[in-house]
Every structure is written in structure tokens, then in C-alpha cells.
Structure 1
Amino acid sequence: MEPPELRRAVEAARATAAELGLETDDVTVIHNSDRVVLRLLPCDVLLRVAPPGHLADSEFEVEVARALATTDAPVAELDPRVPPKVHVRDTFAISLWTYYEPLGTDITPPAYATAFLRHHAALRHTDLNAPHFTDRVTAALRVVNDADQSPDLPPADRRFLADTLTALSAEISTGGAPDQLLHGEPHPGNLLNTTTGPLFVDLATCCRGPIEFDLAHAPEEVAEHYPGADQPLINRCRALNWAMFSAWRWREADQMPDRAHWRAEGLNKVRTALDRCRRD
């Protein structure tokens, strides 16, 4: 979030915590992107604050967390001191989570793959009504194809992203790989290394698709430790993921900091990933 929006988000978080009886003397910004993650002390709670228009996503994330709470899934838990729900204040959607102290060390590829295997196994036994990954591609295409939503996107790049999203989505979804429930965006920033082991966060992206769609978000070495992973399919999914990432950055309403950098870098990442697919 940009500074003015971030200040409003912090105040909304403080007010929500106070209303729930959680003492707050200090707020630390843990992560700032299109959403913001805050740690409040001394109550020691983690708040995920989503901007206006994301209430449904936040409610779905809480639903996923509640569904996985009774499984062996390696995921962060909601804060048990407050009701498991989303609070709305000043148009922000706010959910409260357990804070986990990070270990400060990198997660090894074998440990990353083991977390994936446990998470995917738990999701296979979870009855959740989640969108297909192609629904997310369709949403990205709406942004790319609508100049009112992405007015700064140059015409050549608009055609490039639209063609890439359309072609890769069709190729992956008709390639014969089985679908299952997935995390959706399990990149390294969404896997915490904690004293209780690696834990996935940011559960609002849960969707259906091949496991390679998840693996494409992780460092390349992780797939070597995931039995049966299809590397060429992972490469195609990686290109698709970068194309969607790039589409979001060109939204006029996008709140990611340093957006100009990521607009250019996103397009570069798409082209690099497509070159890898061609070599396959």
C-alpha cells in the first residue's frame, strides 16, 4: 500500500484490536504489498489488512484456515483469542492470526517439498468450493483487455500479455494433468520458517489445478524433491504465473509499492519464462 493508505490501514487495525480487547502499544509492518501484514504488541497478534473491495477474498481465506485447522496441513492458524471472522473497519477487511517468530534461516528444498506434500495431501481431504486456476487467468485477462482498468499498459505489451495468458491457460488446462486443491501462490514469501516447521500463509489464493501450478511458485530445486513432478509443465505454469503477476501490476488501482519497477520486471520475467518453455 502507498503511505496514505498504509496509515489508514494501521489505524483501522489498531481500532479493531482495541474493540476486541487486545492491548496495542506498538505496530510493526511485517509485509506491505497490495495487502499489509501487521504485528501488534504487547498482545502479539498478526493482522492481515486487505484494501477496499477484497472482503470476499479475506472471508474465503478465513474459511480455508478453518477447514484446514483439523488436518495435518502446515499452515498458519487464526488467533484463538478472537472469533474466527473478518472484521470490516474504514472499508478495510481485517483478519487476526497467530504470530510465529521466524527462525531467520532459509528453508531447504527438501523441507519445502515436504511442506508441499503435506499441504497437498491435506487439501485433497478438504471439502472446499474453490475456483479453478483458469478463473484467475480470466480475471487477469479482464484487466489486460480493459483499457479503463489498465490505462498505462502499452498496446504491444497488452497484446503480448493477452496472447500469453490465453495460450498458456488453454495449454495447461487441457494437458491431462490431474487437478486438486492447491495453495495457489506458495512462493517463498508465503512459506514461513518457524520453530514448529515451515508454515504456509496467505491462504486466500486457494484454487484448483495441477500440483505443478503450486510448484511453479517455489525455487526450481524444490521440484526435484517432489515425486512425479512434471518439469516442463512447471515451466509453463511459471510463465503463466508471471503473466498474471504482470497483469495485476498494470491495474490502475494496484497498491503494490514500487509499482513502476514491477511493471517492467514482470514483463521481463514473462519473456524469460517463455524462453525456457521454448527450450523445453
Structure 2
Amino acid sequence: MEPSQLRRAVEAGRAAASGAGLVVEDVVVVHDSDRVALRLLPCDVLARVAPSGQLADSAFEVEVARRLAEAGAPVAVLEPRVAPRVHVRDGFAVSLWTYYEPVAPQIAPGDYADALMRHHAALRRIDLDAPHFSDRVAGALRVVEDRERSAELPGADRELLIGTLRDLGAEIGADKAGDQLLHGEPHPGNLLGTNRGPLFVDLVTCCRGPVEFDLAHAPDEVAQHYAGADQDLVHRCRAVDWAMFSAWRWRRDDRMPDRDHWRAEGLDRVRSSLERLGPG
């Protein structure tokens, strides 16, 4: 967020927690992007603060978290001292979560796969209206097809992303027989190593699709430890995943830190993923 918006977001997080009866004397910014994560002290709560335009997403995430906690999923849970809801303060949507002190910088591939299998099992036990992953692919495709929204994207790279998202995305999304609820983006940044074991966070990306779509977000070795995974489908999903990532980076209004690096890196990852699939 811009500095002035970040200051307002910090105060919104503080006000929401204080209004819920929690004691807040200090605020530490844990993560700053389109949404902000704040550690509130001494109550030791994590506040997730998003612009009020994302109120529906924040409410969806709270509901996903509530249901998954009841199903025994390995996820970060909402703060138990307050009601499970979204608080609106000064144009921001604020949700309050348990804070977990990180204890493991890296999670072994076998432990990662085990956490994801348990997460998928819990997702199969809940009933939730969630979008299909192909909706996200379509959104990314619209960005790269719109030359005004992605004006700086070179022509050859635009065709690469359009072809990957349109053709490979449609191929993966055509067979829905094995689809289920997914995390949506279970990459290493969304899996915390805690004293309770690995826990998934950022549940707003929950969607429907094959489990291989989730596996494509994890390090390569994780899929080898996931029983029954279709390795070829994982590789195809990985190409689509990197194409979506690249599409977001080429948006005119993208604000990801070190964006130029990630623009080039994303395109390189798309190419290398397609090369692994071989001709055709």
C-alpha cells in the first residue's frame, strides 16, 4: 500500500481489535501488499486489513476458515476471543486471527505434501460455494488480451501468455470429474511452519479444480510425495499458474515489489514449464 494508505490501514486494524475488547499498545507490519497483515501487541493477534472493496473476499475467507477449523484442517484459525466476522473501519475490512510464531524456515517436501493431503481431505468434508479455477484463468486472459491494461507487454510474450492461458487452461478445465474444493494458492509463502505443525493461510483463494492445480503452486518435490497425483497434469497446471502470475505482473496498475524482476522471471517460468511438457 501507499504510505498514507498503510498508516490508515494500521489504525483501522488497531481500532477494530480495540473495539472488540482486545488490548493494543503496539502494531508491527508483518506483510504489506494489496492487503496488510499486522501483529497487534500485547494481545498478540494478527489483523488482516484490506480495502473495503475487498469486503466480500474478506467475509468469504472468514467463512472458509471457520468451516475448515471445524473440519480439522491444518489452517490458521480465527482469533477465538472475538466473534468470527469482518470489521469495517475507515474504508477497510479487518479480520482478526490467531498469531503463530514461525518455528521452521523450510518445510520438508513430505511434510508439505502431508499437510496438503489433510487440507484437501478437510475441504472435501465441507460444502461451500466457490469459483472454479478456470474463472481465474479467464480473468488473467482478459488482462493480456487487453492492450490498454497490459500496454508494456511485448507482442511475442503476449502471444505466449494468451496461448498458454486460452489453450492449456481450457484443456485442464474441460474435465471436471475429479474437481474438488482447493486452497487455490498453497505456495510456500502461504504455509507456515509453527509449533502446531504446518498451517495454511490466505484462504481467500479457495476455488474448485483438480488437486494438481494446488500441487502446481508447491515446490516440485512435493508432488512426488502426494499419493495419486497425476504428474503430467501437475506440470500442465504449473505452466498455467505461471502464466496467470505473469499476467498479473503486466497489469498497468500492478504494485508488486520488484515487479520488473518478476515480470521477467514469470515469463521464464512459463517457458520452462512448457518445455517440460515437450512438443504439442
Q: TM-score range by the shorter chain?
A: over 0.9
CA offsets, 1:58-83, max 9 Å, x none? 11111101111211211111111122
Hey, what's the Cα distance between the residues in 1 that align with 2:8 and 2:266?
A: 28
- In the other structure, the counterpart of 2:190 is 190
CA offsets, 1:205-240, max 9 Å, x none? 111111100111111111111111111111111111
Provide the secondary structure at the position in 1 that maps to 2:208: strand
Matched-pair contact (CA < 8 Å) for 1:144–1:158:
yes
1:249 is the counterpart of 2:249 = yes
Provide the secondary structure at the position in 2 that maps to 1:69: helix
- In the other structure, the counterpart of 2:35 is 35
CA offsets, 1:30-74, max 9 Å, x none? 222332211111111101122353222111111101111211211
Residues 1:18 and 1:192: Cα distance change in structure 2 (over 3 Å): same
- In the other structure, the counterpart of 2:45 is 45
Hey, what's the Cα distance between the residues in 2 that align with 1:224 and 1:30?
A: 32
The one-letter code of the counterpart of 2:27 is V
CA offsets, 1:171-219, max 9 Å, x none? 2123576111110000011111111111110001111111100111111
Hey, what's the Cα distance between the residues in 1 that align with 2:252 and 2:89?
A: 23
Could you tell me which runs of 5 or more consecutive residues in structure 1 were left unpaired when the two chains were aligned: none
CA offsets, 1:16-36, max 9 Å, x none? 222223222222222223322
The one-letter code of the counterpart of 1:204 is V
- In the other structure, the counterpart of 2:78 is 78
> Number of matched residues?
280
- In the other structure, the counterpart of 1:207 is 207
Hey, what's the Cα distance between the residues in 1 that align with 2:151 and 2:67?
A: 39
- In the other structure, the counterpart of 2:263 is 263
* More relative contact order, 1 or 2 (CA 8 Å, 6+ apart): 1
Could you tell me which runs of 5 or more consecutive residues in structure 2 were left unpaired when the two chains were aligned: none
- In the other structure, the counterpart of 1:66 is 66
The 5 Å alignment of 1:21-170 reads 21-170=21-170
- In the other structure, the counterpart of 1:217 is 217
1:272 is the counterpart of 2:254 = no
Provide the secondary structure at the position in 2 that maps to 1:251: coil
Provide the secondary structure at the position in 2 that maps to 1:163: helix
Hey, what's the Cα distance between the residues in 2 that align with 1:215 and 1:177?
A: 18
Matched-pair contact (CA < 8 Å) for 1:2–1:257:
no
Hey, what's the Cα distance between the residues in 1 that align with 2:175 and 2:21?
A: 52
TM-score (norm 2): 0.93
The one-letter code of the counterpart of 2:43 is C
Matched-pair contact (CA < 8 Å) for 1:34–1:254:
no
Q: 1:148 deviation in Å?
A: 3.5
Please provide the CA RMSD for this pair.
Answer: 1.9
The one-letter code of the counterpart of 1:146 is D
CA offsets, 1:104-123, max 9 Å, x none? 34211111111111111111
Q: 1:86 deviation in Å?
A: 1.4
Q: 1:15 deviation in Å?
A: 2.3
Provide the secondary structure at the position in 1 that maps to 2:70: coil
Q: Percent identity?
A: 68
Matched-pair contact (CA < 8 Å) for 1:75–1:199:
yes
TM-score (norm 1): 0.93
Hey, what's the Cα distance between the residues in 2 that align with 1:149 and 1:215?
A: 30
Matched-pair contact (CA < 8 Å) for 1:151–1:252:
yes
Hey, what's the Cα distance between the residues in 1 that align with 2:3 and 2:142?
A: 28
CA offsets, 1:247-273, max 9 Å, x none? 112223323222222222222221121
Q: 1:91 deviation in Å?
A: 2.5
Matched-pair contact (CA < 8 Å) for 2:176–2:209:
no
Provide the secondary structure at the position in 1 that maps to 2:161: helix
Hey, what's the Cα distance between the residues in 2 that align with 1:91 and 1:143?
A: 27
Residues 1:3 and 1:265: Cα distance change in structure 2 (over 3 Å): farther
